[in-house]
Structure 1
Amino acid sequence: MNRLAMKYWSYLSLPCFLWSIVCGQNTSPILHCLRCSGVTQSNIDRCINLVECAHECYVNTTTLSTGSKVKNFGCAKKPDCSSGQGVLGKRDVTSYNIEFCPKEICNIDVDHFQVPSSTPCGDVSAPDCRDPAALAAICSDCETAQYCRKSCGLCRDRSSTWYENVVLFDYDPVHRTCRHTAGVSPSICQSIKEQYYHILPVVKNNYTVNHAHARHDYLILADTTSYVRITFRTNGEPLTNLQLSACKTFNGLGRVDILLNNHTIEESYDGTAVWDLNWQIHKLNTNQFHNDRSFDLLIRKDARVPSSGHYWLSRIRLESLVSHHDHHGK
């Protein structure tokens, strides 16, 4: 066994405990968007992948001639003309529509996560918009369709209530730093304590498997008894989703259990990518934690069927849902 391997396994052979209290940083967490392709209504729950976004989230909805809809989710720079509909080149496609939004995971349902417009949505050029012959040409072009938004079907009935996903904490378990959405109490970040066992931290990572791997440091859960535990306190905010930036080293191996206050979020979870650190979302049952303020999050190697594959953990994000009420007209 070479010297590096000997050092590695001697490190893992010893239990390692580390408790730490971290303080929130002033920098807001980077925007996350859903990232999936070819999603239909029947399999939308399988869309669990997220992407860090420096622009805006989008959902591109294609309506087929059969009436069924196919959606693509992701992150992109919003063009000057962001919505369009019209006949495309393929015979089995009737129309498409692209919507952008700038809020956390807002592309899961743009209508509910979009701030209502303060100006009414209508037709600027009413005579042209009432002419069926002219309307077909107007609506087929994204820019000219803005003059007949109502007639081209670009107006949305938006409620005066809209919602926002807020980050209670975005925690780095390697460097033990924490960020949160502006307006969220820093006391949650400040309450975090971390414990781990049989873990190898990879810090100042310069070993590049791929681009995503090179961006972040991470913890390796390599042993069958490895785990990471963080405890924290909230102020009664409803917990809606847990997000993990993680991956595994081999298919079928590197499985983990994820528990929050002894409630199983995932068991023998094998859904992470191979050798590619990526964000995934795990939805929470808000009612399970309705009366809780103190929390214990445990991420451990599969306890039911031990596996020798590694699980890499880079970041942990917990979110809540906030409702806003706006009195602007639709």
Structure 2
Amino acid sequence: MEKVNNVTVFILRGLSQNPKVEEVCFVFFSLFYLAILLGNLLIILTVRMGNLLKYPMYFFLNYLSSVDICYSSVIAPKMIVDLLAKHKTISYAGCMLQLFGVHFFGPTEVFILIIMAYDRYVAICKPLHYMIIMDQNRCNKIMLGAWVGGFLHSVIQMALVVQLPFCGPNVIDHYFCDVHPVLKLACTDTYVVGVVETANSGTIALGAFVILLISYTFILISLRKQSAEGRRKALSTCGSHIAVVIMFFGPCTFMYMRPDVTFAADKMVAVFYTIITPMLNPLIYTLRNAEVKKAMKKLGHRKVF
């Protein structure tokens, strides 16, 4: 059967259909996006100019901040503009590109969080061999694997969607193009595609969450052998990582570990992992990390004097 695609433009329903609510959301989400850009750029500058890239944890933190900027930039600017627009439209090509970006940078962030958990496990449980195990060459290879993993996941999601015919309804009940809302518009049976998508995204979300829980469990168990000061420092660092994991993976698991159905709360849940987490990451990793705060003070002092 030949693919029929009569849809060239999609209409996004957005976060709300109430103009007053949209105006308030415009102000808040504009500030949130600005905080994402400034906060994560500050972390990147601090790590790079503070000569912290040679330490594995900050090497990965630098890439986490970069991915946060890219991930939110795929979604937030369009969402913010649409909050004041009368007609919230996106072209078919633009929708597919946004879907690709969401499923490229999102899983890449998942993989980086797993890497950071492994890094903390090695640092706390095998401190004497830490710099040997996590040498620069291995860190580079691990990061390359994270980018390749995110790319492969995104290609699979794109391949599932672009081969579908769209010949009728073109209203997406969301504020960005994601697989579940787009599948509802296809004028063919999408059951198999939905199952494959759920298995793909769901496995990454739930699998990563389980791996992270196991990693931090081993870390917490090993802290019993540490000194009081060592436990305090380790708990401070791991506490920030666990906070990010809960905020990011809780909503992701809710969204992708279920069949091809949508709920009214999906849009508000998606805000947590597309906007809130990228905004809070810089605060969590700086306020809970003495080394980063020290490097920021040095960087500020250098700029002033």
The higher relative CO (CA closer than 8 Å, separation ≥ 6) is in: 2
TM bracket, shorter-chain basis: under 0.3
User: Which one has a larger percent strand, Structure 1 or Structure 2?
Assistant: 1
User: Which one has a larger percent helix, Structure 1 or Structure 2?
Assistant: 2
Q: TM-score, normalised by structure 1?
A: 0.23
